[in-house]
Amino acid sequence: MRNLTSAVLTACATIAISAGAQAATLSHNGLTMGVNNYGGLGSGGVGFALNGTDAITPGCLCEGWGVASNGAGSYTYGNGSTNFTSGALSDVTSNTGKSTVTTSGGLNVTHSYSPVDGQKLFRIDITIKNDSAAVANDVRYGRTLDWDVTPGYFDNNFTTVYGGTPTGPGGKVLHTSTNPFDTPNPMFTRSQEANTNVSNSIGDKGSYFIFSFGDLGIGEELTFTTFIGADTSAAGLLAAFTAVGIEAYSYTTGRGGENAFGYGFTGLDLPPIGGGDVPEPAALALFGLGIVGVAAARRRRKA
């Protein structure tokens, strides 16, 4: 990406070199996704694609997740890892797989990938277990993803972030941002459009979420779910998000509103989007995108 600092680019390159070779490519309902043994996306030249159009690999592979406890974070970013003592991919089929990693702090984290029937979505069930001999304090999980939706992915993407409440983060969502360009250590937040709902923010952006789960006793575990998907329109993607009960999400479209890519979460103690007592961030986002489309059409006519 053009607005990455040289330090972050160097970090991406260094981490990528240290990544393991174990990986898989999963396919479902027009989607193709590369998964590495640490549970991140991007392997074998495949990031995440809809009908062959990849929305991760055109730019920097600034994508990954992290986990933290007792004030220390471990993460995978740019197809590599930091402070994971092991990482393995198992149970691989044409559309399923499970990544298992352990951290130096004694957390065991699994990401189980599976398709969602009838939807252009992959489901990722995430389990964090405390295998250490002490209580894991302030357990956090972070997820960062830079979508590069063509055409014009550097400057003409439109990013929407919804943190679960009308004013931003709620429930177990601790932090949101449209800045995906840093390692996803959940102990650190980001300032760009932080902790606020964002509708069709234009530019070279993505999203970053941090979840806070409190303390985890010896042998205890917690679970939540991520969904990653795409559609030829934001309306189609948001309909899929609503169908699976997503509570917080982010997505990005190209400059004409085509090919929306995004991810969302359940299990965060928030109401699902689309409920009668929940504001409609999806409708607001689509309205904003419509305004952008009208403005673009007017510019074309003037030209």
Reported as a single tens digit per residue, the pLDDT across 272-303 is 998 644 444 555 444 444 444 433 433 333 33
CA distances (Å), origin 118, targets 30, 121, 226, 239: 11, 9, 17, 12
- Residues 148-183: pLDDT tens digits? 887 666 777 899 999 999 999 999 999 999 999 999
Average pLDDT per consecutive 10 residues, the chain (303 residues; last block may be shorter):
40 37 89 95 91 89 95 93 92 96 97 98 98 98 92 80 97 98 97 97 94 98 98 96 98 86 98 66 47 39 37
Phi-psi region of 200 (alpha: psi -120 to 50; beta: other; left: phi over 0): left
Structure pTM?
0.86
- C-alpha span between 235 and 295 (Å, rounded): 19
Angle in degrees, CA 286, 241, 60, rounded to 5: 80
